[in-house]
Structure 1
């Protein structure tokens, strides 16, 4: 019996996925566990494997098509077999196909369009989710559009062709138009975000747009004297070397430890705001913004407040390497309560980090700066400063409170022995 592959749910917040690449075509043989296609969610790419061996009988989407979780992606069965309707019993049929049986009373009831061929009302109409949204936004009757995809499926290109042809579309009354105009405008804006970009860049664009539209973001900047932390790092490295430890202790690890302690001391910054509910967390789940060749991922160190400096160093190295090697899963990329992003290696001093959606704050770390300072005895000495940028949601935290968080963080940086007490 044939079996349907559906769009999987990779995380709690995932509602739809994008087809990134097809590895198999209709008619190809597939083995159980063999990748059939690649999909992308908001934060990662993942192969979808065949649930059993057989022949790929049908494909329900093209590259760059967006399908909802649970939508059919493909059907696998025996050669010559016709897919059974029971194979789709757990799938919302509206998301895969539209079947209508009412016939118009007269030809006048059918809208006239140029360059398209009408389907019979009893025909099964296959259409990608993106094409369906575009048709709805432009009020195009999909019954009158000829699809160029497999099994006559209507794709984004088919809707664009209809629009370019200047074809007439269904008309609405003034009242209906006024009612739906605002919603259609919003829908078009959502569809257009990141259009033409790679799936990962598109996901980043959507997340950033969501972050900026749903929060009141403000950024404060401050420097901390980092010489004490550098001296502390050298002392720990000497101790590790003497004990033949292979642990690599970077300044980023010590700054992460300082941030964790500051978040525990100032809990309003370690909070999430989602669906109208503000939650201050006792646990610190630290997101680490990690740059990739084609984008950005934020793997999460869970329960960072329970980690020693050594454990924190090992886990930070592990999660960033997994992110860069494409070995992450949704669990590793979710659940953060606060995020750190470091542009110090790029020579950037101050910048404006954008909040990771639902979080209250994100800390930006810049490159070390050398400055001259006046000592108590009147002499001048060279010191090193590190620029810190805290972006916060002004809905939840005021500027004075965010400044207080920075002061606490500076305390741990300039008094590093507090990191081990």
Structure 2
């Protein structure tokens, strides 16, 4: 008996996914557990496996098509088998209802005044969710669009062709720009990041949500880091002498300093969500990790319980998993505070944006060398590191955030406190 593969829900916040690649074509044999296609969600890429062994009978959606959680992706059955009536009922990619997921709208549910003609069941037009939203936003009658997808389904590419056609460019440029600007201002939150890659869309939505729900302010300060560098070298020598494979970077030591500062000033290690303010005893540390196509924030859980060596191993593990695409939802959620380091890019100070729903995020800049006049009257070169703390002014005042930086600087400039 044939079975339907549906768009899975990879995380609590996932509502839709994008088809990234098809590994199989209609008529191909697939084994149970074998990847059939790859999808991408807000932050993750994942293969979708065959639920049983059989033949790929039907595919619903092309590469780059965006479908809602629970939408039908493909049907697998026996050779020559026709999909069951239940399977056929689910072949409309915008009207399946699977496992009590949110039921998407079918094109016939869209009011005519939204710019898309209302169709009767007998002449239903197949259109992907993304293409349908683009049609509504741009007042395109989908009856006039020729679909290039399977079974004539209208896709994003088809709408893009309509938008690029000359008959839509007759409007004066300044009027068109004004309409586009107005549409941007009035666009609902759900449209934020539309047209971007799934990862960039997630970043766009998170950043917009963060700025909309918090009162963000950033304070800057430098800390002397010569003592921390000497402390790092002392620990490295001890590790090498004992044939340890721990890689002790300055980022690890700065993370340890931040963890201790958060435990000393718990107001910065807090969350304000849904009308409730909660201060945490535990520190679950998010580490902003740059990728070729975006940014992920894997989380070191219970970072306050780790020694410097175990913290170094944990940081290496979570960032590597993020970079090679092995980060799952559990690794990317649950942080209480985040660190982002742009020192390798030569940046001194910057304004990091809060990771929802955290109260603070620490930005680390590039080491700076300064000349000072020592007590004996000689000029001395010292190294300092720029620190930027962004905080939610709804929860913490500037004086409290400045206190956090002072505590952090204490641990950086007196590094032996890191092991006490």
Q: TM-score, normalised by structure 2?
A: 0.84
Aligned counterpart, 1:129: 129
Deviates more, 1:344-353 or 1:58-67: 58-67
Give the alignment of 1:328-339 within 5 angstroms.
328-339=327-338
1:234-256 Cα distance to aligned partner (Å, 9 max, x none): 22122222222222211111101
Please state if 1:90 is matched with 2:98: yes
Give the alignment of 1:406-417 within 5 angstroms.
406-417=405-416
Matched residue SS, 2:410: helix
Q: How far apart are the structure 1 equivalents of 2:50 and 2:388?
A: 47
Aligned counterpart, 2:59: 59
Q: Which runs of 5+ in 1 are unaligned?
A: 101-109, 168-180
1:172-211 Cα distance to aligned partner (Å, 9 max, x none): xxxxxxxxx9999324x7436252x433233323322332
Q: How far apart are the structure 1 equivalents of 2:117 and 2:404?
A: 64
For the 8 Å contact 2:267–2:396, the answer to whether it is kept is yes
For the 8 Å contact 2:117–2:142, the answer to whether it is kept is no
Q: How far apart are the structure 2 equivalents of 1:99 and 1:413?
A: 62
Give the alignment of 1:86-165 within 5 angstroms.
86-87=86-87, 88=90, 90=98, 95=104, 97-98=106-107, 121-138=121-138, 146-160=146-160
Matched residue SS, 1:56: strand
Name the Cα RMSD after superposition. Answer: 3.0
Aligned residues: 394
CA shift, 1:75, in A, is 1.6
Aligned counterpart, 1:224: 223
Q: 1:206 to 1:230 in 2, by over 3 A?
A: same
For the 8 Å contact 1:72–1:96, the answer to whether it is kept is no
Q: 1:93 to 1:269 in 2, by over 3 A?
A: closer
Aligned counterpart, 1:368: 367
Aligned counterpart, 2:176: none
Q: How far apart are the structure 2 equivalents of 1:184 and 1:249?
A: 47
Q: How far apart are the structure 1 equivalents of 2:185 and 2:62?
A: 24
Deviates more, 1:250-259 or 1:339-348: 339-348
Q: How far apart are the structure 1 equivalents of 2:207 and 2:242?
A: 45
CA shift, 1:36, in A, is 1.5
CA shift, 1:94, in A, is 5.0
Matched residue SS, 1:391: strand
Matched residue SS, 1:207: helix
Matched residue SS, 1:62: coil
Deviates more, 1:376-385 or 1:131-140: 131-140
Q: 1:148 to 1:120 in 2, by over 3 A?
A: farther
Deviates more, 1:212-221 or 1:247-256: 212-221
Q: How far apart are the structure 2 equivalents of 1:317 and 1:416?
A: 21
Give the alignment of 1:257-296 within 5 angstroms.
257-296=256-295
Q: 1:159 to 1:94 in 2, by over 3 A?
A: farther
Deviates more, 1:146-155 or 1:323-332: 146-155
Matched residue SS, 1:356: coil
Q: 1:192 to 1:309 in 2, by over 3 A?
A: closer
Q: How far apart are the structure 1 equivalents of 2:343 and 2:162?
A: 50
For the 8 Å contact 1:119–1:143, the answer to whether it is kept is no
Deviates more, 1:392-401 or 1:140-149: 140-149
Q: How far apart are the structure 2 equivalents of 1:64 and 1:123?
A: 25
Aligned counterpart, 1:5: 5
Matched residue SS, 1:332: coil
Please state if 1:186 is matched with 2:195: no
Deviates more, 1:214-223 or 1:146-155: 146-155
Aligned counterpart, 1:23: 23
Q: How far apart are the structure 1 equivalents of 2:317 and 2:216?
A: 31
Aligned counterpart, 2:179: none
Q: How far apart are the structure 2 equivalents of 1:241 and 1:212?
A: 45
Matched residue SS, 1:80: coil
Q: 1:248 to 1:11 in 2, by over 3 A?
A: same
Q: Which runs of 5+ in 2 are unaligned?
A: 91-96, 169-181
Aligned counterpart, 1:242: 241
